[in-house]
């Protein structure tokens, strides 16, 4: 079994109380590594991050920051195969996805590295002729990043790359289910040339997360995870008025109109919900299909769901892996049972795979539901698709928007005007038209309503980690009335 300490100030450091926890591989349930789980380590990490921010990192030219980020990206690509394997072992996602995600990390460091030396304020119009007024964009300081288990390296990178470009330092807590790859990423930081203390990784569970959320030395928190956890984080952060970025869950609709390409729509719906065993925030878990094409699409989806190949995530032939934990499997099954009890029809799956057992839930398709059925309203975070039909565009919009979440939506139609009308009417952060689940460093990612606030990725994600400082300069030395503002 492998053992890891926290990564703080450029190296592995034993945690103050030497508290530890185990991490398992979902495929076998076997413990494969042990990591630190000590809330007291957060303070040590915050001090290291502050010292780096006030030291070498804070004074480094922005172009040099970008150069180090590019180098880190290269090192991650060099070691992508190993990183993809470890990620797959730790969260049970198929190697096809974790391998591709590991190879894709470099593009994020490259994009944000290119932005590092393009951050600037502006000279403002003079409020009066004797003034010079300008703004500077300054890094917020030490950022606390709390990451979920479903795409640990990618979701960490979505935080880390923009915050490094902005000139901040980080205290990162990966999920207790998948703690190791964040440490492996940080191990590569010294080789890339990063000063000690810029990237700090503190592993552990809820108590470590809570220590980050409530730490007064953290200037901004960026969190990806579930809504219930986000409320704990937001409450703790409120004590210090620490600002937040929250990327939360979803219940994203996939809307198929009669004129859609049936092959593309079927593939898009299947990929949207069964990729990553449905354990993605943007899972397209609610399908709404127009009546004229419904029979064809529903028949195809049910047939294909039955043939999806479950198995060892490390096998490249595997199409769907297990749920990440026993608790997650139990939750998925109990939500399916509840749907059945509420009168829904389980048209495919609905059970733990009879041959593989363990954490393998069969790809599940549920019909005979309404927007009031619990499983249509609540995030499952598993391979469960509900399908409903609709008659016209207005009904599709009403059904899709009738959700407390607003992360993403898919629209399948070849009518170009309708596709843009739908994009305009859907109350979500991201709309995919005739495609689904695309992400890129260039493109903002995030949601509305209970799906959170703030954005990962895109140029605007850098602004989440910048503060505007305004500077007034009086040029003439004119005397003014000390009792009047102006």
The reply to whether 209 sits near ligand NAD by the rule CB under 6 A is yes
Q: How open is the CA angle 275-277-278, to the nearest 5 degrees?
A: 80
Considering only 175, 181, 252, 457, the residue that binds ligand NAD (CB under 6 A) is: 175
Q: Which is nearer to ligand NAD, 173 or 220 (CB)?
A: 173
The reply to whether 149 sits near ligand NAD by the rule CB under 6 A is yes
Considering only 90, 176, 219, 464, the residue that binds ligand NAD (CB under 6 A) is: 176
DSSP classification of residue 456: B
Q: Any residues with CB less than 8 A from the CB of 154 and at least 6 apart, and which?
A: 101, 104, 105
Hey, what are 417's tokens?
Answer: 């005007």
The span from the CA of 244 to the CA of 143, in Å, is 10
The pairing of strands 244-247 and 452-453 is antiparallel
Q: Any residues with CB less than 8 A from the CB of 341 and at least 6 apart, and which?
A: none
Considering only 142, 233, 323, 339, the residue that binds ligand NAD (CB under 6 A) is: 233
CB 310, CB 267: distance < 8 Å = no
The pairing of strands 408-412 and 364-367 is unpaired
The reply to whether 232 sits near ligand NAD by the rule CB under 6 A is yes
The span from the CA of 35 to the CA of 208, in Å, is 12
Active site residue 168: no
Find the catalytic residue in 247, 378, 404, 474.
Answer: 247
The reply to whether 46 sits near ligand NAD by the rule CB under 6 A is no
Q: Which stretch binds ligand NAD (CB under 6 A): 7-15, 49-57, 143-151, 460-468?
A: 143-151
The reply to whether 444 sits near ligand NAD by the rule CB under 6 A is no
The span from the CA of 268 to the CA of 136, in Å, is 44
The reply to whether 247 sits near ligand NAD by the rule CB under 6 A is yes
The reply to whether 146 sits near ligand NAD by the rule CB under 6 A is yes
DSSP classification of residue 81: H
Q: Which residue's CB atom is positioned nearest to ligand NAD?
A: 209
From residue 324, how far is each of 109, 226, 269 by CA, in Å?
27, 15, 22
DSSP classification of residue 369: -
Considering only 114, 205, 444, 458, the residue that binds ligand NAD (CB under 6 A) is: 205
The span from the CA of 79 to the CA of 169, in Å, is 24
The reply to whether 289 sits near ligand NAD by the rule CB under 6 A is no
Considering only 244, 248, 366, 411, the residue that binds ligand NAD (CB under 6 A) is: 248
The reply to whether 249 sits near ligand NAD by the rule CB under 6 A is yes
Considering only 83, 143, 147, 339, the residue that binds ligand NAD (CB under 6 A) is: 147
Question: What's the chain's Rg over C-alpha atoms?
Answer: 24
Active site residue 281: yes
The span from the CA of 227 to the CA of 210, in Å, is 15
Q: Which is nearer to ligand NAD, 54 or 207 (CB)?
A: 207
Q: Which is nearer to ligand NAD, 234 or 433 (CB)?
A: 234
The reply to whether 428 sits near ligand NAD by the rule CB under 6 A is no
The reply to whether 121 sits near ligand NAD by the rule CB under 6 A is no
E strands within 202-274?
220-224, 244-247, 253-256
The reply to whether 406 sits near ligand NAD by the rule CB under 6 A is no
Considering only 281, 293, 346, 348, the residue that binds ligand NAD (CB under 6 A) is: 281
Q: Which is nearer to ligand NAD, 190 or 444 (CB)?
A: 444
Q: Taking the complex as a whole, how short is the minimal distance between the CB of residue 418 and ligand NAD, in angstroms? A: 27
How big is the site for ligand NAD, counted in residues (CB under 6 A)? 28
Q: Which is nearer to ligand NAD, 96 or 159 (CB)?
A: 159
Hey, what are 14's tokens?
Answer: 């034993």
- The per-residue DSSP string of 137-202 comes to EEE--EEEEE--SSSHHHHHHHHHHHHHHHT-EEEEE--SSS-HHHHHHHHTHHHHTPPTTSEEE-
Hey, what are 354's tokens?
Answer: 């009879």
Find the catalytic residue in 97, 168, 281, 379.
Answer: 281
Q: Which is nearer to ligand NAD, 290 or 379 (CB)?
A: 379
Q: Which is nearer to ligand NAD, 218 or 348 (CB)?
A: 218
The span from the CA of 281 to the CA of 287, in Å, is 16
Catalytic residue annotation: 247, 281
Q: Give the binding site for ligand NAD (CB under 6 A).
A: 146-150, 155, 173, 175-176, 205-206, 209-210, 213, 224-226, 229, 232-233, 247-250, 281, 379, 381, 407
């Amino acid at each position: 079994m492998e053992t890891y300490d926290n990564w703080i100030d450029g190296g592995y450091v034993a945690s103050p109380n030497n508290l530890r926890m185990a991490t398992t591989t979902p495929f076998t349930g076997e413990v494969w590594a042990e990591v630190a789980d000590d809330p007291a380590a957060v303070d040590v990490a915050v001090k290291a991050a502050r010292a780096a921010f006030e030291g070498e990192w804070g004074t480094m030219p922005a172009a040099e920051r970008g150069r180090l980020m590019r180098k880190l990206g290269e090192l991650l690509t060099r070691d992508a195969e190993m990183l993809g394997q470890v990620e797959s072992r730790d969260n049970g996602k198929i190697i096809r996805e974790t391998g591709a995600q590991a190879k894709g990390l470099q593009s994020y460091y490259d994009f944000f590295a290119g932005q590092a030396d393009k951050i600037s304020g502006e000279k403002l119009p003079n409020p009066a002729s004797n003034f010079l007024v300008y703004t500077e964009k300054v890094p917020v300081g030490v950022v606390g990043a709390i990451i979920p288990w479903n795409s640990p390296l990618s979701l960490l990178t979505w935080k880390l790359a923009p915050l490094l470009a902005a000139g901040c330092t980080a205290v990162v807590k990966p999920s207790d289910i998948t703690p190791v790859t964040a440490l492996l990423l940080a191990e590569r930081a010294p080789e890339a040339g990063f000063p000690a203390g810029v990237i700090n990784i503190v592993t552990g569970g809820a108590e470590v997360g809570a220590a980050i959320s409530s730490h007064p030395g953290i200037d901004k928190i960026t969190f990806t995870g579930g809504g219930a956890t986000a409320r704990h984080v937001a409450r703790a952060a409120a004590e210090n008025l620490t600002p937040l970025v929250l990327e939360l869950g979803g219940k994203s609709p996939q809307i198929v109109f009669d004129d859609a390409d049936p092959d593309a729509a079927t593939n898009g719906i299947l990929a949207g919900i069964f990729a990553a065993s449905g354990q993605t925030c943007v899972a397209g878990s609610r399908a709404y299909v127009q009546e004229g094409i419904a029979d064809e699409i529903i028949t195809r989806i049910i047939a294909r769901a039955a043939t999806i190949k479950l198995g060892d995530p490390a096998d490249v032939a595997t199409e769907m892996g297990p749920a990440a934990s026993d608790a997650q499997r139990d939750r998925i099954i109990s939500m399916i049972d509840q749907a059945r009890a509420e009168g829904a029809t389980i048209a495919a799956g609905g059970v733990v795979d009879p041959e593989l057992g363990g954490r393998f839930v069969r790809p599940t398709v549920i019909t005979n539901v309404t927007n009031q059925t619990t499983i249509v309203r609540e995030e499952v975070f598993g391979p469960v698709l509900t399908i409903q039909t609709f008659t016209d565009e207005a009904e599709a919009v009403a059904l899709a928007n009738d959700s407390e979440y607003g992360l993403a939506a898919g629209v399948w139609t070849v009518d170009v005007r309708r596709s843009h009308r739908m994009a305009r009417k859907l109350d979500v952060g991201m709309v995919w038209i005739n495609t689904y689940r695309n992400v890129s460093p260039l493109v903002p990612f995030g949601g509305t309503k209970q799906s959170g606030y703030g954005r990962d990725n895109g140029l605007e994600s850098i602004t989440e980690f910048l503060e505007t400082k305004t500077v007034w300069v009086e040029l003439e030395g004119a005397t003014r009335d000390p009792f009047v503002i102006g």
